[in-house]
Structures are given as structure tokens and as C-alpha cells.
């Protein structure tokens, strides 16, 4: 891009600002950020030849015998980290991971997303996403002692959490991650910060940065922030609703159609895309909801989706279509409400886009909008309406994912098979454990 | 590290069959920071396909038809248009009436009797329109200063942590101020020819820049509805 001037920009800025360390960031298959530091003098060489590292200890990368990996920094992602000292500051760049022979490494989630984005581009589309990540603040990481008892949109005076949220928003903006809204969520000590929409790859990088930033800022104030999907019994869990839209390459919103005969202002492309999400949701849920705990959030009664359906007003549907506001064609989008913030954002965006594009390719017909509150419907009514449910637990989700040729195709054999293996082990471990609920319920009576 | 041209260095293609004129041009622009490529009239098409140019100096001598044909070809050349290239036509006074200017690319003319200094000046104006900053300039506007030599942007003296494209976008808008720029133009001139994505990315980057600027400067980066963006100088 721009004839290498971006690299010159990085090298000059490193020198001008007295930056001593540049952190190279990449993500393992499970969505955990990995980082190693490179000194200022090594950066020029790293642009040219990459930085070698041992991939065998990274989850989902390689086995011992083929462990040599090379990280190539993406100069466009160069960013000074605002929570580090100004003098001898620290910056970061996201990296692409390649093999020593220069070929793309298929276990790199960033590459998996790039691949499906390239496919979208071939079809004439670019994916934009705006995620809303919810999280809880607790006093520490050992207990779930909350900081406040506030509720949705509550303005709580003298509230440490709103200072925290403000600091987090300011830090995010310094990192080039503009924030749309931030507010108190429904549960006590639960907060939400919504990011302004951006291209999918940049947004996946932003989600990684966001999760780190929320935790860093909390740590500086001596509290703990968690994205665990369902930390408290009887309270709402934390989701990551993902607003998404396709733009054509001229910058028009491909989801908008003023002449939609159904009056939703949605194009055929949008309807096929939603139909694709609905059809493949059971297969991609293992990616968007990756933990045993994720499925404790996907239960009726806590504003999280359970049923595979779509609606405009009904927030219990899995896909929501926000109402169109006149003159806001560009904002036409759909919102997938099932994912949670512990997912690997590269893989999550990849499977959403992959499912949506599949819907377009297969010209899937969109089921009717679900208008009643689906949670009130009986099993028979649900079946009559053709509404099925998301996987009930990680075991079921991983089974559906394993059998899915579509997911294997989107993510590639390497990531697919590693993910299945890893998550099966997690599930197998979980089911051997007896929960406090079981002891409470059964011990004294059985 | 890839080699790349500095902000100043520009590429000129001289199309002429006149050996004497070529020597004259070579001497005239020897001190300008430009790289020059040469082509004859018959060779012009092929030469243009081989590289990108900022300005083309076209001298057809007395071959009026070849001149008009070449101008037409230049005008339909998408690469030139995309690079915002300009054409300087050298022509004799008696042929001026026949001259037809292109529709899409910027064009100027110079009479074949013009002096060396006039030629150099006209070329300079085409290559570096007045808003383009010199490589080591410090631009100030309100609380904002931009040092283009070191890529550092400061607001009230404090450095801003911009990513490269945020920096490039801001510098372009500030140095081409008080004029609305379409998303397409910004993509072409800031992102460059390598970028194949859609124009929505401009909005995304504008928001990132605004989020990092001080509030006063952020307001100067205005959205022009239905058009694009502009920088309003203080």
C-alpha cells in the first residue's frame, strides 16, 4: 500500500518517538492473543524477512516437527499503546503468520478471515461489522463480587464503573477504535461498549485490542473485567451482538433496497444472507459460542437468542433487522445476536460471512419474520413455524460443527480439525465434573 | 525495506520525435526532483503502459493528426486519470486552433517558441500544484502542527498516535483544505492505486482520525453531505 511509505512511516515514528519495543501481535486458533516484543533496531529487518518464532507452543498452530513460523508485521496496524509510558514507549503491529518458505500458514486465523474476505470481494462485496461487546467488572478474578447494583442505562453516581468505562472509551479512541455508545447493561456491574462499524479484518483486530484494553484499564484501577459469557446465576449473560452489512465496491450498501416488495427496505442479497446465517447457525455456533459456559447464556428469559429466527422488533430472535430510518441507507444492516465475546473474532466473522455468502450463492429463501414472542410458543407451534433451536450445549455444537462440510470449507481443514479436537477434549473434561447445583439438589434427598 | 520514491520525486514522460527538443528538456529539468522517461510519438502508447506518470510532456511537432490522436489516447487512459496525471502540450502558434483539450485529464499547453524558464515553470506548476507540501514543511492550523519530514502530528504540542493511513488522510485534507473531496478521490490519492476495496473505508478512517484529534481540530474535519470530506482551515 502506498508504495511502502507505511513502513517508512513506522520506522520514522519509532525513531522520532523513542519507541524501544514493538509488540508483534497474532492470535491462536482459540482466540487468545499472542505477543512477542521486537526492539526498535529489528523492525526494519522484520518488514523484510519477518521474525521467526516457535509455533509448536501456540494452540492450534503446529506439531513439534514443523514448528518454525515467521511473523510478518502489517505496517498499517502500527499503533502506539496509550497505557505504556510516553518515554521509551511501546507500540504494536498485528502480524500475518507464514511458513519459512513464505507460504501462508493455514492455521493463522487472520489468514482464514482474509481468505473468505477475498471470496466476498470476488463476488463484489466488502463486509463491514460493528460488534457490541458486553462484559462484567468484578472486584477480582476469584469471586463475582460486583461493583454496583445498577441496571440498564442507569447513571449511577460516584460509580467507579462509569469512570472505568470513560477511561476505556478514551483509551480505545486513542487506539483508533471509535466508540458508538457505551452504557450500563441490564445486570449489576455489567457494561457494554459498542464499536463504530469498520471493515471486517480491521474490526477483528479491533476486537482483540478492545478485549485487552478493557482488561488493562480495569487492572490499572485495581478491578477485574471479564468477558465470561455467563458469570452470574439468574442474571443476563454477556453477548457480542454483531451488526453486519455488505457494501458493493462503489461504496453502496448492498443490503438496502428502497423497492423491497415486503417493505423491509432489504435487498434480495440481504435476505439470502440472513437465510444463510439461519441455515448454518447450528453449524457455526461452536465458533461464535466457544465455551461450555457460552451455552448457559443461550437460555430463555435473558434476552439471549435460543431459537433460529429473525425479526425486526423482537429482540429474542437470533437475527434482528434494525428498523430503517429514512435517509440512512448506509446504516442498513442486520444484527446477529447469538455470539459471545469469548469467540475468536477472526473465525467468528469468517463463519458469519461464509454462511451469509453461502445463502447468496444458494439463493436461499428467507423464512417469514417471527412476530410473536417466540418464547411464548409451544413446541408444536415452533415446529409448525419451522423454527429450530441453537445447539443446547458445547457437545452438540461441536458435533454439528464437526459434520459441517461448509465450515470445513470456510475455515480450512487445519483449523477445523484442530478446533474439533480441542473442543471435544474441553467437553469431555467438563462432563466428568459434578456441579454445586447437583450436590445441592440431590445430595440431601437421594 | 522496499525502496520508494520520496514525497517530492515525480515521474515525467516526454513524448517527442525532436532530438534537439529532448536535449533542451533534459538540460532544463536537470535540477528538478523528477525521473524522466522518453518516448517517440509512435512508441508513446507502449511506453505509457510500462509505468505510471505524474505529468506527460507531449510535443508532436508538425504532426497535427498524431498530436490529436495521442491526446485522445491519453484522455481514455484510466491509469493516468486515476493518478490525477497532467499533460503539457507543446504546440506551434499556427496549430493552436486545431488543438482539442482532453475531457478527463488536466491539460495545459506551451508554445514551441517559449523560453526554457517558461517550460520549467509550467511543468513545475503541473507537477506540484500549489497546495502540495514540500517534504520538510511544518504545517500549522489552530492547535495542530504536522511535520511532514518526521510524520509527526501534534495537537497543543502533544504527539498524536496515528496509524499510517490516518496520518496520510489527515495530511492530504489539511494540505488541500477548504475544498470538498469525494471518497473516490481520497481513495485514489491517499490509498493509491493498489487499493481495490470500496469507498466506505474512507468514512471509517475519517472517524478514527476524528477520534484521535482534539475537539477543535476534529470539528474542522467536516463531512460534506452527499459529497465527501473537507478540512476547514482556522
| A66 confidence band (pLDDT: 50, 70, 90) | low
What's residue B37's pLDDT? 87
Of A192, A322, A5, whose CA–CA distance to B171 is shortest? A5
Among B4, B166, B168, the residue with its CB nearest the CB of A4 is: B4
Assess B199–A contact: CB distance below 8 Å, yes or no: yes
Please enumerate in sequence order all residues whose Cβ is within 8 A of that of B151, keeping only pairs 6 or more positions apart, or say none. Answer: A9, A12, A13, A16, B167
Mean pLDDT of A121-132: 95
Chain B, 61 to 120: residues with Cβ < 8 Å from chain A are: none
Distance from CA of B174 to the nearest CA of A (A): 18
The conformation of residue A256, written as its DSSP 8-state character, comes to: B
Closest chain A residue to B193, measured at CA: A2
Please enumerate in sequence order all residues whose Cβ is within 8 A of that of A407, keeping only pairs 6 or more positions apart, or say none. Answer: A280, A283, A284, A287, A351, A354, A401, A416
Q: A196 pLDDT exceeds 60?
A: yes
The larger pLDDT score, comparing residue A155 to residue A365, is at: A365
Distance from CA of A70 to the nearest CA of B (A): 17
Among residues A205, A335, A340, A402, which one is catalytic?
A: A335
Residue pair A158/A268 in contact by the 8 Å Cβ criterion: no
Of A390, A351, A427, whose CA–CA distance to A31 is shortest? A351
Q: Is A184 a catalytic residue?
A: no
Highest mean pLDDT among A58-72, B32-46, B69-83: B32-46
Cα A388 to Cα A307: distance, rounded to the nearest angstrom: 6
Distance from CA of A180 to the nearest CA of B (A): 11
Tell me whether residues B208 and A178 touch, CB distance under 8 A: yes
Residues in B touching A130 (Cβ below 8 Å): none
Mean pLDDT of A177-195: 86
Among residues A28, A74, A132, A257, which one is catalytic?
A: A132
Of A51, A202, A45, A235, whose CA–CA distance to A134 is shortest? A235
Cα A402 to Cα A343: distance, rounded to the nearest angstrom: 17
Tell me whether residues A6 and B151 touch, CB distance under 8 A: no
Q: Is A243 a catalytic residue?
A: no
Among A177, A196, A250, the residue with its CB nearest the CB of B198 is: A250
Cell of B191: 490509498
Cell of A309: 429466527
Q: B51 pLDDT exceeds 70?
A: yes
Of B56, B109, B52, whose CA–CA distance to B82 is shortest? B52
Distance from CA of B27 to the nearest CA of A (A): 29
| A186 confidence band (pLDDT: 50, 70, 90) | confident
Count other Cβ atoms within 10 Å, centred on residue B83.
18
Q: A95 pLDDT exceeds 50?
A: yes
Mean pLDDT of B27-40: 82
* pLDDT tens string A221-241: 899 999 999 999 999 999 999
Assess A303–B contact: CB distance below 8 Å, yes or no: no
Q: A214 pLDDT exceeds 50?
A: yes
Mean pLDDT of A5-30: 92
What's residue A383's pLDDT? 85
Percentage of chain A lying above the pLDDT 90 cut? 69
Q: Is A110 a catalytic residue?
A: no
Assess A2–B contact: CB distance below 8 Å, yes or no: yes
Assess B47–A contact: CB distance below 8 Å, yes or no: no
Q: Is A134 a catalytic residue?
A: yes
Q: Is A68 a catalytic residue?
A: no
Residue pair A426/A394 in contact by the 8 Å Cβ criterion: yes
The conformation of residue B98, written as its DSSP 8-state character, comes to: G
Q: Is A399 a catalytic residue?
A: no
Residue pair A110/A206 in contact by the 8 Å Cβ criterion: no
Give phi and psi for A193, each to the nearest 5.
-130, 120
Torsion of CA B144, B145, B148, B152, to 10 degrees: -80
- Averaged confidence pLDDT in chain A: 90
Tell me whether residues A178 and B3 touch, CB distance under 8 A: no
What's residue B2's pLDDT? 28
Mean pLDDT of A240-258: 93
Give phi and psi for A126, each to the nearest 5.
-130, 135
Among A11, A126, A196, the residue with its CB nearest the CB of B198 is: A126
What's residue A210's pLDDT? 95
| A301 confidence band (pLDDT: 50, 70, 90) | confident
Q: Which CA distances in Å does A344 have to A199, A203, A287, A304, A352?
A: 16, 12, 7, 19, 12
**Strand partners of residue A35:** A25
What's residue B1's pLDDT? 25
Closest chain A residue to B169, measured at CA: A2
Q: A3 pLDDT exceeds 50?
A: no
Q: Is A185 a catalytic residue?
A: yes
Q: Determine if the pTM surpasses 0.95.
A: no
Q: A298 pLDDT exceeds 60?
A: yes
Tell me whether residues A75 and B164 touch, CB distance under 8 A: yes
The larger pLDDT score, comparing residue A154 to residue B121, is at: B121
What's residue A370's pLDDT? 85
Chain A, 67 to 126: residues with Cβ < 8 Å from chain B are: 75-80, 82, 121, 126
| A310 confidence band (pLDDT: 50, 70, 90) | very high
Distance from CA of B131 to the nearest CA of A (A): 20
Mean pLDDT of B74-86: 77
Percentage of chain A lying above the pLDDT 70 cut? 94
What's residue A111's pLDDT? 96
Q: Which of A187-196, B186-195, B202-211 has the lowest mean pLDDT?
A: B186-195
3-state percent helix, strand, coil for chain A, nearest multiple of 5: 40, 20, 40
User: Which of B138, B164, B169, B203 is the best residue to mutate to test the A interface, defined by the most A CB atoms within 10 Å of its own CB?
Assistant: B164
What's residue A54's pLDDT? 87
Q: Which CA distances in Å does A301 have to A191, A234, A292, A346, A438?
A: 19, 9, 19, 29, 22
Cell of B128: 506540484
Cα A338 to Cα A397: distance, rounded to the nearest angstrom: 13
Closest chain A residue to B196, measured at CA: A249
Distance from CA of A428 to the nearest CA of B (A): 43
Exposure of B95 by Cβ count < 10 A (0-12 exposed, 13-18 middle, 19+ buried)?
Answer: middle
Angle CA(A107)–CA(A111)–CA(A116) in degrees, nearest 5?
115
Assess B194–A contact: CB distance below 8 Å, yes or no: yes
Tell me whether residues A44 and B197 touch, CB distance under 8 A: no
| DSSP H or E segment with residue B89 | strand B86-91
Tell me whether residues B210 and A249 touch, CB distance under 8 A: no
Cell of B64: 497535427
Amino acid at each position: 500500500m502506498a508504495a511502502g511509505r507505511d513502513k517508512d512511516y513506522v520506522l520514522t515514528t519509532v525513531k522520532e518517538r523513542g519507541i524501544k519495543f514493538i509488540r508483534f501481535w497474532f492470535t491462536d486458533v482459540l482466540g487468545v492473543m499472542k505477543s512477542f516484543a521486537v526492539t526498535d533496531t529489528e523492525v526494519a529487518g522484520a518488514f523484510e524477512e519477518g521474525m521467526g518464532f516457535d509455533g509448536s507452543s501456540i494452540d492450534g498452530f503446529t506439531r513439534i516437527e514443523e514448528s518454525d513460523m515467521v511473523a510478518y508485521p502489517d505496517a498499517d496496524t502500527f499503533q502506539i499503546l496509550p497505557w505504556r509510558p510516553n518515554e521509551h514507549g511501546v507500540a504494536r503491529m498485528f502480524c500475518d503468520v507464514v511458513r519459512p518458505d513464505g507460504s501462508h500458514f493455514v492455521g493463522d486465523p487472520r489468514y482464514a478471515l482474509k481468505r473468505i474476505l477475498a471470496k466476498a470481494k470476488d463476488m463484489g462485496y466488502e463486509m463491514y461489522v460493528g460488534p457490541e461487546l458486553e462484559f462484567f467488572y468484578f472486584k477480582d478474578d476469584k469471586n463475582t463480587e460486583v461493583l454496583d447494583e445498577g441496571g440498564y442505562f442507569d447513571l449511577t453516581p460516584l460509580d467507579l464503573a462509569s469512570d472505568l468505562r470513560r477511561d476505556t472509551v478514551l483509551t480505545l479512541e486513542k487506539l483508533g477504535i471509535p466508540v458508538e455508545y457505551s452504557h450500563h447493561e441490564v445486570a449489576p456491574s455489567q457494561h457494554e461498549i459498542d464499536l463504530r462499524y469498520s471493515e471486517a479484518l480491521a474490526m477483528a483486530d479491533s476486537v482483540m485490542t478492545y478485549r485487552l484494553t478493557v482488561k488493562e484499564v480495569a487492572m490499572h484501577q485495581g478491578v477485574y473485567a471479564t468477558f465470561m459469557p455467563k458469570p452470574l446465576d439468574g442474571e443476563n449473560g454477556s453477548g457480542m451482538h454483531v451488526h453486519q452489512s455488505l457494501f458493493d465496491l462503489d461504496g453502496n450498501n448492498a443490503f438496502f433496497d428502497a423497492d423491497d416488495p415486503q417493505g423491509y427496505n432489504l435487498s434480495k442479497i440481504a435476505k439470502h444472507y440472513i437465510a444463510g446465517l439461519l441455515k448454518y447457525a447450528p453449524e457455526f455456533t461452536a465458533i461464535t459460542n466457544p465455551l461450555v459456559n457460552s451455552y448457559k447464556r443461550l437460555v430463555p428469559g435473558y434476552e439471549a437468542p435460543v431459537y433460529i429466527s429473525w425479526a425486526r422488533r423482537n429482540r429474542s430472535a437470533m437475527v434482528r433487522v434494525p428498523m430503517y430510518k429514512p435517509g440512512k441507507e448506509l446504516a442498513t444492516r442486520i444484527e446477529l445476536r447469538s455470539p459471545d465475546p469469548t469467540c475468536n473474532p477472526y473465525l467468528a466473522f469468517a463463519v458469519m460471512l461464509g454462511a451469509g455468502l453461502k445463502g447468496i450463492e444458494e439463493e436461499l429463501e428467507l423464512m417469514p419474520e417471527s412476530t410473536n414472542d417466540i418464547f411464548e410458543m409451544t413446541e408444536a407451534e415452533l415446529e409448525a413455524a419451522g423454527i429450530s433451536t441453537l445447539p443446547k450445549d458445547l457437545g452438540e455444537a461441536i458435533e454439528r460443527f464437526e459434520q459441517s462440510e461448509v465450515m470445513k470449507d470456510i475455515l480450512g481443514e487445519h483449523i477445523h480439525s484442530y478446533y474439533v479436537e480441542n473442543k471435544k477434549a474441553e467437553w469431555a473434561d467438563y462432563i466428568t465434573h459434578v456441579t454445586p447445583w447437583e450436590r445441592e439438589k440431590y445430595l440431601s434427598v437421594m | 525495506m522496499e525502496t520508494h520514491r520520496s514525497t517530492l520525486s515525480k515521474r515525467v514522460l516526454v513524448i517527442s520525435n525532436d532530438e534537439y527538443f529532448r536535449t533542451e528538456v533534459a538540460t532544463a529539468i536537470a535540477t528538478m526532483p523528477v525521473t524522466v522517461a522518453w518516448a517517440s510519438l509512435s512508441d508513446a502508447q507502449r511506453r505509457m503502459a510500462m509505468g505510471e506518470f505524474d505529468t506527460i510532456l507531449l510535443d508532436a511537432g508538425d504532426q497535427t493528426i498524431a498530436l490529436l490522436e495521442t491526446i485522445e489516447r491519453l484522455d481514455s487512459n484510466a491509469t493516468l486519470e486515476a493518478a490525477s496525471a497532467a499533460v503539457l502540450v507543446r504546440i506551434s502558434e499556427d496549430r493552436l486552433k486545431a488543438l482539442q483539450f482532453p475531457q478527463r485529464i488536466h491539460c495545459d499547453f506551451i508554445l514551441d517558441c517559449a523560453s526554457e524558464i517558461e517550460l520549467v515553470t509550467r511543468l513545475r506548476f503541473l507537477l506540484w500544484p500549489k497546495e502540495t507540501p514540500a517534504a520538510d514543511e511544518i504545517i500549522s492550523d489552530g492547535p495542530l502542527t504536522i511535520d511532514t519530514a518526521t510524520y509527526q502530528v501534534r495537537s497543543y504540542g502533544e504527539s498524536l498516535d496515528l496509524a499510517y493511513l490516518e496520518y496520510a488522510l489527515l495530511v492530504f485534507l489539511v494540505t488541500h483544505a477548504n475544498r470538498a473531496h469525494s471518497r473516490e478521490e481520497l481513495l485514489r490519492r491517499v490509498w493509491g492505486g493498489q487499493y481495490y476495496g470500496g469507498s466506505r473505508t474512507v468514512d471509517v478512517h475519517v472517524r478514527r482520525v476524528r477520534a484521535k484529534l482534539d475537539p477543535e481540530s476534529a470539528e474542522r474535519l467536516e463531512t460534506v453531505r452527499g459529497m465527501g470530506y473537507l478540512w476547514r482551515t482556522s
